[in-house]
Structure 1
């Protein structure tokens, strides 16, 4: 006689317990960072925009939520009107399709007054739940809420958000620590914004701190670790992006190739990136690689915020150069994955400058930071042109070099800036170095080229 095994039903998460636990959660007091939501959160109301904090894994999005929550509590918002929930909780597995609605409904059941008075809803790692975009948009349109969500995945890329939210969301990028934030994490006193004169003691202290910043980088979670542990942890961050953000889109069979492309992108930060050359190199190493596949993996790495591409400055629809420069999300990550003979402080310095420009230009057009190849025989380069290329209104040209004491280096950097300043009226020329500070005459309408140490420039904002 045959027997059959009865079907087992999947366990339902204990929503009442999980929600109550989160309602009683004691939010940590994070080291304060510069807010990414510059104007603060609006009061709860129907049809508020959904605020979405995006960025690479471990860049500090959760603690940005805690900072927002602490600000609300400090301003007098009742704790019962604030609901935080993390969807990476393993007790939600297997996660039902309606998990978001179940969690929110349980909160309304436990705190019915919050639904009427208005609630601040913070959903962390929301990409773990299915259909989260439609849920967030529906709740924002039908409930008296202010909703802030975070996620670490290509599912929360700017393209994905634009496609699914149709103008009903506002995304804010969370990058690793800026230099000023890095100093705050290490209890290093920094000059105030706007200071332009410094004692020798302050200058050497800031130079030393910036040197360490280019090695440690800005990921918050590694700041208190020993040097060896920092390297191991940063390498694991890269592998995690590949395993969780790339593989979920392209499949596990491409993880090995994706790891190689991630390493290539990080080790070649601040360099021009040719996808054809990349595909050819990988093919020689035994990976079955072609242009479309390599391009697709690079796109996913950028959508996961591991790296960024910077295009050529142009006022035409078709740029002269189709080879962008690539920049890593963090100089410390570059240091951690690069071999000893590949360590280039100049490239990490240029990467740190790009990331600081990216922080300062948040909310601008996507091409607000570009590079420039001058239309001359030498094809000289300017590392960054900052300004609206579409509106033909650039306002700053920036060169980055670690050391300008060599006369040939000085001539190369100033020649390119002079050419750019001659071509673009009223543009400001700046050279960012590790140590040097100077003002160089450009012979262009009295405009000088400012030479400024990176630490001082990084603390201007």
Structure 2
């Protein structure tokens, strides 16, 4: 058991040790920190390698700089082999008791459990420690599956947790880590590379390509194939490739299944639907449902899929036809989601609005366009927004070198400045 404690010491902030903190993601840390000093469980979810571990450690470090004793911080990452001995919630409970016996921390203890879904019956641990009124604990946990807080646990912890979805680097964060200016050129470079944090410490394009491929393989294998005992791993990967190469296009499960069958794949509608839902659960792709703007209701069936990071397209499948306008639309979707909006594809009779973005009582209608090159293009891109008869904000986002004046209440914004409006 002593060697288990030594593993804890290695990864924690005790005795002046400061684990790697990485690039400070202040957008997340400041938001999470507002929810501290209570019994709410702070839950970080997002794709593997999107930076959840660094953010957890940054929050822990921020607690320390605010005056919390480092010995009151307990951190483990279940991705590290040093913690392979923690199989289930009982093992984790024993480890915490060992930590308390060794350090005897006074006052509230802050528990940071990274990739907690790798601990069997972790829900029992979270529920128990969240409700323990004999000692004072505050829990911060992370996971790489969107369903980790569904079902029974959501019922057990009803009203006692808050979720933060972590995305790869935004354009603003990209500028921060690369020390770039806010320009069209740097935005296009961001668009043609990717936002997964570890990309920025790799030396060359080949290494980055191998890294992105390894991330993809790890997610598909560990988070889907092994978890759900997938019988056709090749179909799973083919579906991921199809979604990446058709991002920003209107798709239906039926059409995707028919496409796979036309290419000689033996599959069914249900299999395709299940496999795609698993891919969504790992945050590799996101689905935007269609929304009837007049009827104010979601339309089932067709929808659009967006890639969580364009690195998959840029480094793995760049040979497939894929216009820059589609990449721009993907980045606009991600920027809206990062800023806390629920995002749908807007439908108005025979017209489509790229995004209906909602946050609390705020609604944005957003149209994404590569370039507004002439009067005909401008008229086409503005037409859908003009047909909406309400007073919510309407925006057209493009890569134009100049900003067009406001037109019938519709704002035009250059893509690299979108974050300033959100």
TM-score by length of 1: 0.83
Give 1:13 deviation, angstroms: 8.9
Deviates more, 1:80-89 or 1:57-66: 80-89
Decide which of 51, 67, 91 is 2:58's aligned counterpart.
67
Cα offset, 1:285, TM superposition: 2.7
Counterpart-to-counterpart distance in 1, 2:324 and 2:242:
17
Q: 8 Å contact 1:19–1:106 — kept in the other structure? A: no
Change (3 A) 1:303 1:415: same
1:453 pairs with 2:414: yes
Measure the CA separation in 2 of the matches of 1:168 and 1:254: 39
What's the offset of the Cα at 1:43?
5.8
Q: For residue 363 of structure 2, give the secondary structure of its aligned residue in structure 1.
A: strand
Q: What is the rounded CA distance, in whole Å, between the counterparts of 2:144 and 2:194 in structure 1?
A: 19
Partner of 1:21: 10
SS in 1 for 2:301: coil
Residues 1:130 and 2:113 are matched in the alignment: no
Q: Is the 8 A contact 1:331 1:349 kept in 2?
A: no
- Equivalent in 67, 70, 76 of residue 76 of structure 1: 67
Shift, 1:228, TM fit:
2.7
Q: Which residue of 2 is the match for residue 325 of structure 1? A: 304
Q: Please give the residue correspondences for 1:79-98 in structure 2 after superposition, counting only pairs within 5 Å.
A: 79-93=70-84, 95-97=86-88, 98=90
RMSD: 2.4
String of CA shifts for 1:72-129, please: whole Å, max 9, x gaps: 12212111111111222324446543221121111111122x2x41111111121111
Change in Cα spacing, 1:119 to 1:43, as seen in structure 2 (3 Å) is farther
Query: Is 1:188 aligned to residue 210 of structure 2?
Result: no
Superposed displacement of residue 164, structure 1: 5.5
Distance 1:299 1:160 in 2: 20
Deviation at 1:209, TM superposition (A): 0.8
**Structure 2 equivalent of residue 371 of structure 1:** 345
2-side partners of 1:100 and 1:341: how far apart?
Answer: 46
Q: How do residues 48-197 of structure 1 correspond to structure 2 at under 5 angstroms?
A: 48-93=39-84, 95-97=86-88, 98-112=90-104, 114=105, 116-142=106-132, 143-153=135-145, 156=148, 162=154, 165-190=157-182
Q: Distance in 2 between matches of 1:319 and 1:162?
A: 24
| Counterpart selection for 2:282 from 301, 304, 310 | 304
Structure 2: unaligned runs, 5 residues or longer: none
Equivalent positions of 1:374-393 (< 5 A) are 374-375=348-349, 379-387=350-358
8 Å contact 2:11–2:19 — kept in the other structure?
Answer: no
Which residue matches 1:231? 209
How far apart in 1 are the matches of 2:382 and 2:172? Answer: 28
Instruction: State the distance in 2 between where 1:173 and 1:15 align.
Output: 31
Q: 1:34 to 1:20 in 2, by over 3 A?
A: closer
Q: Paired residue for 1:411?
A: 379
Deviation per CA, 1:149-174: give whole Å up to 9, x if none.
11223553656853563332221110
Counterparts of 1:224 and 1:19, CA distance in 2: 26
Task: Between 15-24 and 101-110, report the one with greater CA deviation.
Answer: 15-24
Runs of 4 or more consecutive aligned structure 1 residues displaced over 6 Å after TM superposition: none
Q: Which entry has the higher C-alpha Rg, 1 or 2? A: 1
Q: 1:119 to 1:438 in 2, by over 3 A?
A: same
Structure 1 residues 217 and 460 mapped into 2: Cα distance closer, same or farther (>3 Å)? farther
Q: Deviation per CA, 1:165-189: give whole Å up to 9, x if none.
A: 3332221110001110010010124
The CA deviation string for residues 292-326 of structure 1, in whole angstroms up to 9 with x for no partner, is 11111111111111111111223758645521111
Whether the 8 Å CA contact 1:36–1:173 is kept in 2: the answer is no
CA deviation vs aligned residue, 1:246-265 (integer Å, no higher than 9, x gap): 11333142211111111111
Contact 1:30–1:66 (CA under 8 A) maintained in structure 2: no
Contact 1:439–1:450 (Cα < 8 Å) also in 2: yes
- Number of residue equivalences: 412
Q: Give the Cα separation in 1 of the matches to 2:244 and 2:152.
A: 24
1:226-263 Cα offsets, whole Å, 9 max, x none, are: 22322232232222211111113331422111111111
Task: Tell me the SS of whatever aligns to 1:229.
Answer: helix
Structure 1 unaligned residues grouped into runs of 5+: 1-11, 191-205, 363-367
Change (3 A) 1:308 1:13: farther
Q: Residue in 1 aligned with 2:394?
A: 429
Q: Distance in 2 between matches of 1:159 and 1:34?
A: 32
The one of 429, 433, 441 equivalent to 2:407 is: 441
Structure 1 pair 99–285 and aligned structure 2 pair: CA distance change class (3 A): farther
Q: Is the 8 A contact 1:44 1:118 kept in 2?
A: no
Q: Report how far residue 339 of structure 1 moved.
A: 3.7
Question: Per-residue deviation at 1:135?
Answer: 0.4
